Amino acid sequence: MEVLITHYKRCDVLSIIGRVDSYTAPQFQEETKKITDAGKYKLVFDLSKLEFLSSAGLRVLIVTQKECKRYNRGEVLLADVPPKIYSSLELAGFTELFQIHKTVVDAVATF
Amino acid sequence: MSLSTYNFPGRYSSLSEIAEIVKEKSSEAGLQEDSIYSVECAVDEACSNIIEHAYQGEDKGEILVELEVFAEGIKIRLIDHGIQFQPEKIGNPDLKAPLSKRKPSGLGLFMMRKCMDKVSFDFSPGTNILTMIKYRDTPCCTDLDSNQES
C-alpha cells in the first residue's frame, strides 16, 4: 500500500493505492495522523486506486473522520470510489458518515 | 470437486498471499467479480481475527486454509490452534449510530456474516474450525435468510 499526498491551498488529497488490510492499516493510520497532527483537517481521500479495504481500513477512516470533524474544523471526503469498495462502505453503514464525490476535482471544490 | 490446503504463518503479512489464493480458487469456482471480492473480504477478516484474538498476536501459531471448489461454489475452512473464539459474545455493530457514537471496531465478524452465504464455528480442544460457503450466483454482501451460524 502507498499513500500519495498532494497539498492544495484549501485541502489535502490523499491517494490510497493498493490493499488496506490489517498489515497495511497501521501505515495508513500513520500517514493520516501526520496530516492531522500538522493541523490539516480538510482532507480528500482519492480511492480510485484502492484495491481492497478491510475493517482495519474502515477503522482508520472512522478515526480520521472523528478527528477532522471535531470542533467543526474540517471533514474527510471520499472521491472516485470503485464499486467493490463502495459496497464495503455501504455494508458498514459508512455512506451515511462520509460525503462521497464522483471525482477528486468535485471533492476538492467542496472546500 | 477439488480440495487445496495451505499453511500460513499467523502474521498479518500473510494476508495478501492468502487473498491471492482465495481469489484464484473463487474464480475457479465460477464466482463473479463482486462475489470473489466478498470472499476475499470474509477470509481477510477471519484470518485477522485469528491472529488478533485466537493467537493474541503475530507469530504465535499457524493458519490452515482449506479451499474446496464444488459444483455450487466454494467452501473455505480456516483452522487455528489459538484461544477458543466465542462468536455469541460479539454483537452486531450499530450501523445507524451517528459518527460521535460509532465504534471504530467490531465490524469484522459482521462483514464475514454478510459477505458469505454460510458461516459456522466449530471447536474441539485446542482447535478452532471456521467454515464459510459462498454459492455461485448469489449477490454480493447478501442478506439472505440462509446466512447461518452454528
Return per-residue pLDDT of chain A as tens, 111 residues.
999 999 999 999 999 999 999 999 999 999 999 999 999 999 999 999 999 999 999 999 999 999 999 999 999 999 999 999 999 999 999 999 999 999 999 999 999
Per-residue pLDDT at B144 exceeds 60: no
Contact in structure between B128 and B80 (CB atoms under 8 Å): yes
Chain A residues inside the 8 Å CB shell of B111? 55, 88, 91-92
Interface of B with A in 63-82 (CB under 8 A): none
Chain A CB contacts of B12 below 8 Å: 21-23
- CB nearest B99 (choices: A22, A69, A91): A69
Distances in Å between the Cα of B20 and the Cα atoms of B39, B43, B44, B58, B79 are 11, 11, 11, 20, 18
At residue B138, the pLDDT reads 65
Residues B28, B69: contact at Cβ < 8 Å?
A: yes
C-alpha cell at B49: 481475527
**CA A84/CA B33 separation, integer angstroms:** 9
The complex's ipTM? 0.94
- DSSP one-letter code for A72: G
- B146 pLDDT band (50/70/90 cuts)? very low
pLDDT tens digits, one per residue of B45-58: 999 999 999 999 99
Which neighbouring-strand residues pair with B127? B124
| pLDDT at residue B141, rounded to an integer | 59
Q: What is the pLDDT of residue B71?
A: 93
Q: Does A98 touch chain B if contact means CB atoms closer than 8 Å?
A: no
Is residue A27 within 8 Å of A1, Cβ to Cβ? yes
Write out pLDDT tens, residues B4-38.
999 999 999 999 999 999 999 999 999 999 999 99
Smallest Cβ–Cβ distance between B48 and the set A54, A87, A90 belongs to A54
Task: State whether residue B90 sits within 8 Å of chain A by CB.
Answer: no
| A59 min Cα distance to partner chain B (Å) | 5
Residue of B nearest to A1 (CA): B16
List, in order of start, the domains of chain A with CATH numbers. 2-110 (3.30.750.24)
pLDDT tens digits for range B55-114: 999 999 999 999 999 999 999 999 999 999 888 888 889 998 999 998 878 899 999 999
Residues 6+ away with beta carbon under 8 Å from A46? A13, A14, A15, A16, A79, A80, A104
Q: Which residue of B has its CA nearest to A92?
A: B95
Q: In terms of residues, how long is chain A? A: 111
Chain A CB within 8 Å of residue B114 CB? yes
Contact yes or no for A91 and B45 at CB 8 A: no
Nearest to A66 among B51, B99, B115 (CB): B99
As a whole number of angstroms, the distance between CA A77 and CA A99 comes to: 5
pLDDT the model gives residue A53: 98
Look at residue B142 in the predicted model and tell me its pLDDT: 52
pLDDT band of B139, cuts 50, 70, 90: low
Query: Residue A103 to residues A17, A106, B24, B117: CA-CA distances in angstroms?
Result: 16, 5, 31, 34
Domains and CATH numbers, chain B: 2-135 (3.30.565.10)
As a whole number of angstroms, the distance between CA B2 and CA B67 comes to: 8
